[in-house]
Structure 1
């Protein structure tokens, strides 16, 4: 039985091992960030399409339930219940999964078992939400789905490290990030269509979605050994060590047994390898400031804007005569917040798709730039909400609308770029010590990319705590200057 194509396979019929290596090498071309195929190699093109499609679906389905739950928050709890409790239950269990699994789990990752478990947990969570009217049972279901989503995200990122050479691994990360960005748009659209059916039927139907993950894993995802080959780092990119990975790539044995594959001429049985807590801290320490802190800050600023400032960015309903363009989207003051979220989700999707669209990644030294820009946007939007940069009269309403529109779009771009570039960069890091055991090198790469995920979830959780007093204070300041729209939402 195969596990997502992760067990080794011999040469295909009629193709020698040397020929297979040449075919894999033909996937790649010098000077590109992602592997490219030529018209003369349709098999290679199909492999890359399958890989990209698989990781896009992994990202899309893994995150879409999170978006559906947030979109359905108003329908899931009674009017007297703070909606922030939905956001908390939708992110805290994911943070627990991202914090616990990489640091506490020892030994080899059983991808098939873990993803089947994630699927079962997601389905159970959504069915609990659909079948029970009790608030506590629905919160329990949301927690189950959230835990599954957090564990699934770090699992797919770890799975991407199994693909070599590094350009193929980067290809998988780029498409996974694109799928997570698309989940925002797809999830919001699905609930818009399903909400008319009610919570029981609408959420119940969405429980079918997680089954896409194991089907894709077993039937679509190509085996890592199909991509064994060599490529070169893009010209001028000094942060990526794109050396051949043959020394650190070890195919998994059939059935994912606990024994380590034998690579020496003589059959020598090795003891199972597992990273200690000291080993993990040694690997995580250099990533705290380079990767985790920028990602944490981006998500802290981003979700503080979305949950604490955007709800207060409300203006008079535009008239068709004076603001015909705005009147196409805004028919009541309750339309502003959904519009800001639509702009945000659209630009997040585009920016998270930047690498899969062929755009070059950010240089390693600029990974903190999105967080800096995000902080400036947060301060500017907070000032606009509290004071009104262009004033509150109707004549300046169009200027305020365009200004906020632009900043929300840049906010989404920064958030998406931070996510895809941080995980792309850590995926491409190759600092295996010469002579290091292949199994140990594999576990180190998996731990490094899996340990970063807690940064974004911690940022979102912190933002959910900051956003509530931020919104209350901004609304109070608006009312004090005579702008009372925020009180009528």
Structure 2
């Protein structure tokens, strides 16, 4: 991976040892930020089955956690007269509550978020993540549980957009740390929730334990990262050029042309002919931002397709793939589906340290094949063992994680200096858009299958 930095051109160069320490400290910092940022989001999806099951039939008091029901007792919400063991409300409802606020943020924030200092944005992420765990754990109705999920969505969406933009101030290697950390959140969140609830802790207590995560985010951002002295931690980034104005900062790559041409470049100055990165800043107009978004579509569309297919599987099909002969209960099978998926995501999101995949469209096609196979598996019930689904779900996670990290790596490589910060934020809408569409499709599909 190329090691370009976009900061501190006016400072004396650090020693090799100081540079290595700073580089790996920042990589670790972004790994922890990725872990903490996605943790609440992942936990809410892992808890989706329990959130809905716990509230079904709840009248005036807190229900008994589903894990305490004797195995011989049927789950009170089950559709025992049909082919499938279904919640009356699809887990896709939790998915939509977990992703729609994120989608709104990612669609709108790149056009105005420059006016909010990075330090303030992170404080909002920490506060909303804390609120998500508290509200979901103490909820006594479905709508209160969904509200907790919405808080998690706001935290994750704003955090992803903020931290991806933040990477332009650091060595590009922090992208590997961020990607691996978000994968670690999947494994950590799903595995910790599954493990603690299966060990006998109630979902409420498990969610309260997760309050350690927002605290860790605060420590990672404010104390671990080594910011440039000129970094605008508590000040606005943009110059007033209108409602859509913002400032991009970055490095002109020597290997790729920017998504828009830089009109400020001096005649005869060719950054491709020098070994040193060229650092520039400048405002982006609304027109320029729209041009950049058009250029980003070759990244956004494949990413959206990958995430549509995998979340269609996760929240539309996995709940219906129940194997009664397994030693695991339905709730336990669902939790471990989510856990194995996240293990695959962790492995592939960490792969950027070793290799890159340029053609994300291939990953999109393979993920669609997974969705078709599992849809047929649900309808025709030809899968004979839960282990078959475990293997497919792990492979699904590998494809999704690889698509995520490689998309942002190549956006970083192929974006010009003024556009990189905006590009990283704007492209983040791809995964959220795909997830939102999948949730909307999964809900009627769930209703159809449960009616059989």
TM-score if structure 2 supplies the norm length?
0.74
- Shift of the alpha carbon at 1:90? 1.3
Structure 2, unmatched stretches of 5+, are: 1-5, 58-87, 231-249, 259-270
Kept in 1: contact 2:194–2:332 (CA 8 A) = no
Give the one of 352, 357, 362 matched to 1:362.
Answer: 357
Kept in 2: contact 1:102–1:451 (CA 8 A) = yes
Specify the alignment match of 1:344 in structure 2: 341
Higher mean alpha-carbon deviation, 50-59 vs 123-132, is at: 123-132
Bigger radius of gyration among the two? 1
Kept in 1: contact 2:252–2:416 (CA 8 A) = no
Kept in 2: contact 1:309–1:385 (CA 8 A) = yes
Kindly tell me: are residues 85 and 275 of structure 1, through their superposed partners in 2, closer, same or farther at Cα, counting changes over 3 Å? same
SS at match of 1:361: coil
CA distance in 2, matches of 1:231, 1:445: 9
CA distance in 2, matches of 1:211, 1:67: 17
Specify the alignment match of 1:295 in structure 2: 303
CA distance in 2, matches of 1:230, 1:99: 25
Kept in 1: contact 2:92–2:316 (CA 8 A) = no
Show the 5 A alignment for 1:13-412: 17=12, 20=13, 23=15, 41-77=16-52, 78-80=55-57, 82=89, 83-106=91-114, 110-163=117-170, 168-169=171-172, 171-192=173-194, 194-195=196-197, 196-198=200-202, 200-224=204-228, 246-248=277-279, 274-288=283-297, 290-315=298-323, 317=325, 330-332=327-329, 335-355=332-352, 358-363=353-358, 366-387=359-380, 397=384, 403-412=388-397
CA distance in 2, matches of 1:211, 1:245: 39
Structure 1, unmatched stretches of 5+, are: 1-5, 12-16, 24-40, 251-272, 319-329, 433-440, 480-489
Kindly tell me: are residues 9 and 177 of structure 1, through their superposed partners in 2, closer, same or farther at Cα, counting changes over 3 Å? same
- Shift of the alpha carbon at 1:72? 2.7
CA shift digits 1:31-59 (9 cap, x unpaired) = xxxxxxxxxx4433322221111011000
CA distance in 2, matches of 1:85, 1:402: 27
Give the one of 400, 409, 412 matched to 1:427.
Answer: 412
- Shift of the alpha carbon at 1:336? 4.0
Kept in 2: contact 1:299–1:415 (CA 8 A) = yes
CA distance in 2, matches of 1:206, 1:333: 24
Specify the alignment match of 1:28 in structure 2: none
CA distance in 2, matches of 1:475, 1:125: 30
- Shift of the alpha carbon at 1:293? 0.4
CA distance in 2, matches of 1:423, 1:224: 23
Kept in 2: contact 1:94–1:146 (CA 8 A) = yes
Kindly tell me: are residues 75 and 336 of structure 1, through their superposed partners in 2, closer, same or farther at Cα, counting changes over 3 Å? closer
Kindly tell me: are residues 424 and 314 of structure 1, through their superposed partners in 2, closer, same or farther at Cα, counting changes over 3 Å? same
CA distance in 2, matches of 1:71, 1:344: 11
Specify the alignment match of 2:239 in structure 1: none
